[in-house]
Amino acid sequence: MSRKLSRVDLCDLKEKVAKTIKTPSFRKYLISGFTAFFVDFIVFRTMYINMNIDLKVSTACGIIAGFITSFLLQKFWSFKGSQAKKAHHQVLIYATLTIVNTLFTELVIKEFEALGIKHGAELGKVAATGFIVIWNFIIFKLIVFRKKES
């Protein structure tokens, strides 16, 4: 049985999104994400520009540094997880999500470029990142860093 989204459903969704955006964990999530991006960028730039290290090596090191920064900030600050036993499971899901996000971003960029959109790569990256920010927050909150139910 298919169900159309009604105006009430959309209003309810809009309210839930607005409420979520105002939560401390969402603000911390965004700050953590920007911090991880900054770490990634600084490591990449330092290695590639300042130290003349190969592009692929510099990119990989930046991504790894950003990944570690992001995971630790999300786990212990944004979502205040303390389940050390689950850390290996969380890292596995987090790494898988990172791979999916990377492939999704690449796909969106290629589509924007194929459509002949001016600055397609840049706009595609921004569009993909917008979706990723939203679904990552939901996945982190409900699955990866879910709090134990009492």
Question: pLDDT at residue 140 above 70?
Answer: yes
pLDDT over 90 percentage in the chain: 23
- What is the per-residue DSSP string for 37-95? HHHHHHHHHIIIIIS---HHHHHHHHHHHHHHHHHHHIIIIIS----GGGHHHHHHHHH
Residue 119 burial class via C-beta count within 10 angstroms: exposed 0-12, middle 13-18, buried 19 and up: exposed
Residue 128 burial class via C-beta count within 10 angstroms: exposed 0-12, middle 13-18, buried 19 and up: buried
pLDDT tens digits for range 55-104: 888 888 988 999 999 999 988 898 886 566 678 888 899 889 989 988 88
pTM: 0.69
Buried b (16+ CB within 10 A) or exposed e, 39-65: bbeebbeebbeeeeeeeeebbebbbeb
